[in-house]
Structure 1
Amino acid sequence: MVNFTENDRREGSDWINRLISIFSVLAWSSFILALIWFHYASPELIPGYAVYKGIEDEFRDEWLKRWTDRLTIQLIICSITSFIAVVINLKRSRRKEDHFHSSLLMLVMISIAAILYLVWVIYPQF
């Protein structure tokens, strides 16, 4: 059996690996920002004490349109940047030892699922 690691002529990370890393950081940063937008867009949870005291009307029980629009745009940005990183990674990795960024693939699936949920469940409420 031939040891391919000693025949590896790559000396370090090239610009494509750095590009994958940049897109990965952008995608995860975008997802974290989308989580912040989700916090502001979603309805407030009504605690049991508020129901007991009869003050549940003071809590917001609907989604805010402005923050939901921002959330949708941020999720679209997240899915596009992570999809670009996955495609670049697939084109780049040719050897068995090359690392596949499975977290980016999960990020694509999660962001697309969240977009579909917003479009089919939340936006018809407006």
Structure 2
Amino acid sequence: MNSQQPDRRRKSRDKDGFYQFVLTVNSVCWLVLIGALVVFHFARPEMVTGLQTYWGIEGRATWSEEHVDALIMLLQLCLGMTLLTMLLRSRRNRRREDNYGVNLFILAGISMLSLFTLNVSVA
């Protein structure tokens, strides 16, 4: 090993640029999931109450196609970025105190389950 360069395993995580990049991508993944939840709100069928029926106010009883397409795209983007982040973290974790990040597994599970449920219920 070259004695002039510092050992990157001894460098603190706050100063590691790669680790900061992975954290940023992880944060973006969670923001994309929140955006998908907002799009889901507009994509789902509206609940038509008895009062709306009485007053003659129409509600949408089907899924909004353009919102469903955007929702699927956001969920696929979230899943892809999460899997990429998992791969990057697995290649880089070399310190003893490095943990793998349970939140990535949760995010990937939410994304896969949402895509599966959306394909089953909308298709």
Q: Is the TM value for this pair above 0.5?
A: yes
Q: Which residue does the alignment assign to 2:40?
A: 38
| Deviation for aligned residue 1:46 | 2.8
Cα RMSD of the aligned pairs, angstroms, is 2.0
Q: 1:101 Cα deviation (Å)?
A: 1.8
Where in structure 2 are the equivalents of 1:1-126 lying within 5 Å? 9-11=10-12, 12-47=14-49, 49-50=51-52, 53=54, 55=56, 58-122=58-122, 124=123
Query: Structure 1 residue 50: deviation in Å?
Result: 4.0
What's the TM-score, normalizing by structure 1? 0.78
- What SS does structure 1 have at the residue aligned with 2:46? coil
Q: Please report the TM-score for the alignment, with normalisation by the length of structure 2.
A: 0.80
SS in structure 1 at match of 2:112: helix
List alignment gaps of at least 5 residues for structure 2: 1-8
SS of match in other structure, 1:58? coil
Tell me how far 1:85 sits from its aligned partner: 1.0
Name stretches of at least 5 consecutive residues in structure 1 with no aligned partner. Answer: 1-7
Change (3 A) 1:59 1:16: same
| Overall identity of the aligned pairs, in % | 25
Paired letter, 1:120: V
> What secondary structure, in the 3-state scheme, does the structure 1 residue paired with 2:63 have?
coil
- How many residue pairs match? The answer is 114
Task: State the alpha-carbon separation in 2 of the partners of residues 43 and 91 from structure 1.
Answer: 43
**Partner Cα separation in structure 1 for residue 82 and residue 59 of structure 2:** 36
Cα distance change of structure 1 residues 45 and 10 upon mapping to structure 2, 3 Å threshold: same
Q: Deviations over 1:60-88 (max 9, x none)?
A: 11101111000000100011111111111
8 Å CA contact retained: 1:83, 1:105: no
State the shift of 1:36 in Å.
Answer: 1.3
